[in-house]
Amino acid sequence: MTTTRHLAKLAAALAGAAVLSASLSAQARELSVSTVLSDAFPWGQAAEKWAELVEERTEGRLTLRVYPNSQLVAGDQTREFSAMRSGLIDAAVGSTINWSPQVPELNLFSLPFFLPDEAAVDAVTAGAAGEMIFEAIESRDVIPLAWGENGFRQLSNSRGPISEPADLDGLKIRVVGSPLFQDTFNALGADPTQMSWTDAQPALTTGAVDGQENPLSVFDVARIDQVGQQNLTLWNYMNDPLIFAVNRQVWDSLEEGDREILREAAVEAGQWEIDMTREEESGRLAAIQERGVNVTELTDQQYQAFVEATAEVHDKWLPRIGEALVEAARESVEAR
């Protein structure tokens, strides 16, 4: 009898331990989050803010572990969306540029000189076009939650000031892996060269490429002026919103309450990062100028010359992006 009671107690203890272990596993869960840039940049700070809010509001039941520098896709940022879609990555704070090869609708934001200012960007993301883009992403088994901001991309080079399309003639410009960027710079007479940012920095240093385009935050934090980029043109030729998103299977596996926390935290982190990025813009520009960079700001007439020079790019890409989407975005911009 004693042996029987002992075995029964042991079985009960083991069962209790199994239940406790299962309970703890259900309560605590870690999701991987991919970003291209670290928390030295606003982009990485957005992901960290999201993680901070989620852990706080779930009391540690759900944690987001941020992996910067595209390390979950071996440095190839254009594979991020595919990796999230397949489940290799649980979530991401990603760029519309980097995801556009898999989601053509995201090329809307890369149409040259389509979005003239921040108010236009906000009108598109908050309007019908923004909803259509989120629907397009969700149709590919990724759940979009909120918008962030990488900002308008500006042009720098080592040769001289650029204030008209002719100034770009023959310049080798490093661009990201997007056919739309190739078409845009070809239309301007430049020689676009596709390469990762890791490869771009030594190429700029040696003069293998003459220039590059990035938001002011990246130019400032990465000290791009230190690799020969002493001429900067503020031309707002395209904007790169960020998107907070989660793999569909991961999303479906979460309890409704945790989904809501994940979404609300993403929206809050996104707005926090948008506000911060915009507030810091003037200070970053001043810091860049203090380091001796020659800054060119386009007049309305000069800006219009670039618009006209890239009109053919719009004609080519409108059907690829979707005429209804482009029209919805245009209406939002005009009504802003």
Which CATH number goes with the domain that contains 194? 3.40.190.170
- The pLDDT, as a whole number, for residue 291 is 97
CA distances from 237 to 110, 298, 335 (A): 8, 11, 20
Under the banding of pLDDT at 50, 70 and 90, the label for residue 198 is: confident
- The pLDDT, as a whole number, for residue 9 is 56
Under the banding of pLDDT at 50, 70 and 90, the label for residue 21 is: very low
Which letter, b or e, does each residue of 210-220 get, where b requires 16 or more Cβ atoms within 10 Å of its Cβ? Answer: bbbbbbbbbbb
Share of the chain above pLDDT 90, in %: 88
In terms of Cα–Cα distance, which of 38, 43, 53, 18 is closest to 264? Answer: 53
Whether 126 maps to a domain, the answer reads yes
Whether 309 maps to a domain, the answer reads yes
Query: What pLDDT, in 10s, does the model give residues 88-132?
Result: 999 999 999 999 999 999 999 999 999 999 999 999 999 999 999
- The pLDDT, as a whole number, for residue 106 is 98
pLDDT at 136 over 50: yes
Average pLDDT for 162-181: 96
Q: Which residues does residue 67 pair with via DSSP β-bridges, in sequence order? A: 34
Mean pLDDT, rounded, of the chain: 93
Q: In the chain, how many domains are there? A: 1
pLDDT at 215 over 60: yes
Whether 241 maps to a domain, the answer reads yes
Radius of gyration of the chain (CA): 23
- Alpha carbons 265 and 92: distance in angstroms, whole number: 14
Under the banding of pLDDT at 50, 70 and 90, the label for residue 334 is: very high
Q: How many CA atoms lie within 13 A of 126 on its CB side?
A: 12
- Least confident segment among 76-80, 90-94, 179-183, 273-277: 76-80
Under the banding of pLDDT at 50, 70 and 90, the label for residue 5 is: low
pLDDT at 3 over 90: no
Structural domain range at position 240: 28-335
Average pLDDT for 189-208: 92
Give the chain's length: 336
- The pLDDT, as a whole number, for residue 177 is 82
Under the banding of pLDDT at 50, 70 and 90, the label for residue 304 is: very high
**Tokens read off for 295:** 């800054």
Q: How many CA atoms lie within 13 A of 314 on its CB side?
A: 17
- The pLDDT, as a whole number, for residue 144 is 98
DSSP character at residue 100:
T
- The pLDDT, as a whole number, for residue 23 is 44
- The pLDDT, as a whole number, for residue 184 is 98
Whether 2 maps to a domain, the answer reads no
- The pLDDT, as a whole number, for residue 196 is 82
Average pLDDT for 224-242: 97
pLDDT at 10 over 70: no
Query: What pLDDT, in 10s, does the model give residues 273-297?
Result: 999 999 999 999 999 999 999 999 9
Whether 306 maps to a domain, the answer reads yes
Whether 264 maps to a domain, the answer reads yes
Whether 14 maps to a domain, the answer reads no
- The pLDDT, as a whole number, for residue 207 is 94
pLDDT at 35 over 50: yes
- Alpha carbons 14 and 249: distance in angstroms, whole number: 32
Average pLDDT for 218-225: 96
pLDDT at 43 over 90: yes
- Least confident segment among 3-12, 31-40, 71-80, 300-309: 3-12
- Alpha carbons 320 and 178: distance in angstroms, whole number: 13
Cβ-based neighbours of 309, under 8 Å, separated by 6 or more: 165, 187, 188
Q: 3-class SS at 145?
A: strand
- The pLDDT, as a whole number, for residue 226 is 96
pLDDT at 52 over 90: yes
pLDDT at 14 over 90: no
Whether 4 maps to a domain, the answer reads no
**Tokens read off for 6:** 């002992």
